[in-house]
A and B are shown apart, each in its own frame.
Chain A
Amino acid sequence: MSASSCSLCTFAKSSIGRKIIVALTGLALVLFLAGHLSGNLLIFAGEEAFNDYAHFLHTFLHGAGVWIARIGLLFCFVTHIVFTVLLTKENKSTRAKYAKDTTVQASKSSRLMIWSGLTILAFVVFHLLHFTVRTDAELAALGEISPWEMVIVAFQNPLVVIFYVIAMTCLCSHLGHGVASIFQTLGLRTKKTAGPIQFLSKAYATVIYIGFISIPLAILLFGFGR
């Protein structure tokens, strides 16, 4: 047992081990995004459908379901952030800069992962306070009656929508590199699959992006729900 826990420690301390942890937690978050988006898109199916969905989430497994999911997500989220921040910090100190610094083929999104990631973190904090904890009393009251109505009201605020769109742009960039990276880090990318994986990654990022921003934009710009 001690030997095995030791090899787990080694794994979690190693360069590749930490990357695999980032990839696995990233994968969980990527899958969560798909579920979250498909739930959110129910908003376009009308108030009843959306509220039923919200109700289901809160009552699933007698209310335990949502907490299991929340704890799982929180774990993945925190682990993902802790490990990426650690790795990035380490990476920043591995060499002196070139006087003439050039990039050959590294994509912009890959170079901005930490910044897109931290922006997403800020957004998630805001997002949870906004819709989950509901620090705004008016929204909190609305949410008790109709989550659908709460969302419509919340996205009347242009500042909220702008922040939302910025965060989703970061998310899109993050996913554009992140999804493909999961395959590489888990050792699933090969010469033949590299192309399709790259496409899948970009396509997934785009779908997530369009899906999420469609809601605030529809509400603010096209008066959806009013």
Chain B
Amino acid sequence: MPLLNLTLKVWRQENATSEGRIETYEAKEIPTSASFLEMIDIVNERLIKDGQQEPIHFDHDCREGICGMCSMTINGVPHSKERGITTCQLHMRKFSDGETIWIEPFRANAFPVIKDLVTDRSSFDRIIGAGGYISVRTGSAPDAHAIQIPKPDADAAFDAAACIGCGACVAACKNASAMLFVSAKASHLNHLPQGQAEKDQRVLGMVGQMDEEGFGNCTNQYECEAVCPKEISTDHIAKLNRDYLAASARDSVS
């Protein structure tokens, strides 16, 4: 099996309040069939053996591209320049021998660094709590077939619902805007008949919370769309803008 010798430039930061810095590591003899995170595992195993430094801390869990926990900016691009994947789905065969790889956390003031590459993305949870739901008390739902949903609407809702909440959109945006995330979440529910009753409240609430969390403003550069592991379209941002305008208008006259 081919092996790679790589140089890693990794962001190390003791904790949320300490200064961070880029440290250089030699990653020798990395199998090409390993995943990117397994490559870090190998480096960490060596760091532990060596005993000089703590292993590199990073978020990860399912390692199959669905939980949204892994979050590395690789050579300046969240989840790497490969399209439609999360960090954990990146494999070392995409790199070549002798390469230098820069590994940094997802950067945004709204995602403060906890340690090394681990960030706090709880702002996303608070945005959902501000309206990203349909209020339906358990047990009070009508029969699932009570409402027919045209397939195109169901599909559009699904396309938006594919969001895994990883935050790559924020990390890639020059302004650290959360518009792709917020719009996908809102769009999922706003496309469905069940979501209509709370639509205005949802849009106003989620956008309000998004602003409060300190995310930047969308400048329509679509970097978010390019790095989204689920390739969610910025069409949802247009829809959110439209829904927000309508909701604000209705809110101001009612």
The answer to whether B76 touches A101, judged by C-beta atoms less than 8 angstroms apart, is yes
Interface residues of B in 101-149 (CB under 8 A from A): 102, 104, 107-110
Give the CA-CA distance A44 to B115 in the complex, in Å. 66
Interface string of A86-117 (1 = CB under 8 A from B): 01001101111111111111110011010000
List, in ascending order, chain A residues with CB within 8 A of B248's CB: 7-8, 10-11, 17
- Which of A130-138, A180-188, A203-211 contacts the other chain? A180-188
B75 touches A187 (CB 8 A): no
Chain A residues, CB < 8 A from B241:
16, 19-20, 184-187
Residues of A near B11 (CB, < 8 A) are 99
B189 within 8 A of A: no
Q: Tell whether A11 pairs with B223 under 8 Å between CB atoms, given A16-B241, A91-B174, A91-B216.
A: no
Contact between chains at B75 and A102 (CB < 8 Å): yes
Give the residues from 141 to 182 in chain A that come closer than 8 angstroms, CB to CB, to chain B: 177, 180-181
Q: In the complex the two chains form, is A184's CB within 8 Å of B175's CB?
A: no
Count of A interface residues, CB-CB < 8 Å: 48
**Distance, CA A8 to CA B252, complexed state (A):** 7
Is the beta-carbon distance between B220 and A181 smaller than 8 angstroms?
yes
Given contacts A4-B252, A96-B107, A111-B221, contact A187 B208 (CB under 8 A): no
Given contacts A94-B175, A95-B109, A187-B242, contact A105 B223 (CB under 8 A): yes
B244 touches A102 (CB 8 A): no
Chain B interface category by residue count: 35 or more
A189 contacts across to B, CB distance below 8 A? 235, 238
Nearest A residue to B113, CB-CB: A96
Tell me if B86 counts as interface (CB < 8 A to partner A): no
**Known contacts A99-B22, A186-B242, A190-B235; A15 and B217 CB within 8 A of each other:** yes
Cβ contact within 8 Å between A98 and B76: yes
Closest Cβ neighbor of A84 among chain B residues: B219
Helix, strand, loop or mixed for chain A's interface? helix
Please state if A105 and B222 are interface contacts (CB–CB under 8 Å).
yes
Measured between beta carbons, the chain A residues less than 8 angstroms from B240 are 16, 187
Which residue of A is nearest B183, CB measured? Answer: A16
Enumerate 16 A-B pairs (CB-CB under 8 Å) in ascending A order. A15-B218, A16-B240, A18-B217, A90-B216, A91-B177, A93-B109, A98-B76, A98-B102, A102-B81, A105-B225, A111-B174, A183-B238, A190-B235, A191-B233, A191-B235, A194-B235
B residues apposed to A, CB below 8 Å: 9, 11, 22, 73, 75-77, 81, 102, 104, 107-110, 172, 174-177, 179, 204, 207-208, 210-211, 214-223, 225-227, 233-235, 237-245, 248, 251-253
Q: Known contacts A14-B211, A91-B177; can you find 12 more A-B pairs with CB under 8 A?
A: A16-B241, A19-B217, A90-B216, A91-B216, A91-B219, A94-B215, A99-B9, A100-B102, A102-B76, A104-B172, A106-B221, A185-B238
